[in-house]
Amino acid sequence: MARSTQPMLSAGELNEIMRGAFPDANVPIVDAVTDGGVQVRQPISDRHGRPGGTVSGPTMMSLADTGAWMAILSRIGPVVLAVTTSLHIDFLRKPELSDLVADAQILKLGSRLAVVDVTLHSLDSLDVVAKAQVTYSIPPENLTK
């Protein structure tokens, strides 16, 4: 059975979930809950870089995964036990060593699986630097919190 695609959580509530789940980490910031998902921003520092003055692949993959997770939680509530089952990413161009933005759009939100399309770009550019498709497993109702 498909779930409602109306948001249940605000950007502020999603940011609280992120800070609670990863209290000692430099976590991405949910900037907005959108019509179809969320927009998430990763503040970038030298520790996210790699030789050549670009953002590392693992940083981009983490942002894509986090964007998908936040998009799903925005629609189903604080189901922190939802987990990634698949992540495919294409790196399209070299991003500058600056904040990255992930636009995560829910493609399918079922009762047990969700599929999210994530586009990444640098904060000051609309050029797509990576494109990901992420699938999440949603736990049964009795394991949701």
pLDDT in tens, 12-29: 999 999 999 888 888 999
Q: In this predicted model, what pLDDT tens digit does every residue of 70-114 receive, in sequence order?
A: 999 999 999 889 999 999 999 999 998 889 999 999 999 999 999
Residue 137 inside a domain? The answer is: yes
- Give the residue numbers spanning the domain of 54: 11-143
Residue 25 inside a domain? The answer is: yes
User: Which residue matches tokens 């609309």?
Assistant: 126
Q: What is the pTM of this model?
A: 0.91
Specify the CATH number for the domain of residue 55: 3.10.129.10
For 56, residues 6+ apart whose C-beta sits below 8 A from its C-beta are: 48, 49, 50
User: Per-residue pLDDT averaged across 114-130, rounded?
Assistant: 95
Is the CB of residue 67 less than 8 Å from the CB of residue 116? yes
Instruction: Show the 3-state SS of 100-121.
Output: EEEEEEEEEECCCEEEEEEEEE
Q: How many CB atoms lie within 10 A of CB 2?
A: 8
